[in-house]
Amino acid sequence: MTDGADFATGEKVRLLRLDTAFFSGLDEKDAMRLKGLVGRVWTVETRTPHGLIELVFEHSAGEVTPLEWVCVPCSWIERV
């Protein structure tokens, strides 16, 4: 595990998990879409002041939702 300091902006990482609490308050449709992105490759955007890693996922052209964004602990991602 790492504290996230060595993840660089633009680096590709695999999202390993999202906790059940992560989906609290989300519309069921949005939650299902995000659950489907676990295991996929995301791009590191930045590190938050709270030590979380901000990730971005870009869908294929023509998708209803072109971009996803999440902030997760370092333990939820791995380098690819």
Which residue ranges make up each domain of the chain?
1-48+64-80
pTM listed for this prediction = 0.83
b/e burial code for range 16-27 (CB count within 10 A of at least 16 → b)? eebeeebeeeee
Q: What is the pLDDT of residues 3-59, one digit of tens each?
A: 556 899 999 999 999 998 888 999 998 899 899 999 999 999 999 998 899 999 987
